[in-house]
């Protein structure tokens, strides 16, 4: 954040940047979690974990 301040970004702009990055990363983490909610069972078939 220091580097952004040094480059002229306001604290308000930095909060927006960091917040948007968090939301983007969180959305990607959710996507990965959904896609990896399958596992290979002992018999080699795919099954959904949980529900």
8 A C-beta contact, residue 25 and residue 33: no
Q: What is the per-residue pLDDT for 40?
A: 55
DSSP 12-40: HHHHHHHHHHHHHHHHHHHHHHHHT-EEE
Structure tokens at 22: 């968090």
State pLDDT tens for residues 9-45. 999 898 888 888 888 898 998 888 777 766 555 555 6
Q: What is the mean pLDDT of residues 1-14?
A: 91
Residue 22 CA to chain centroid, in angstroms? 7
């Amino acid at each position: 954040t220091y580097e952004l301040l040094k480059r002229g970004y306001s604290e308000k702009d930095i909060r927006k940047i960091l917040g948007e990055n968090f939301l983007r990363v969180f959305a990607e983490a959710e996507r990965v979690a959904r896609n990896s909610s399958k596992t290979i069972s002992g018999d080699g078939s795919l099954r959904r974990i949980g529900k």
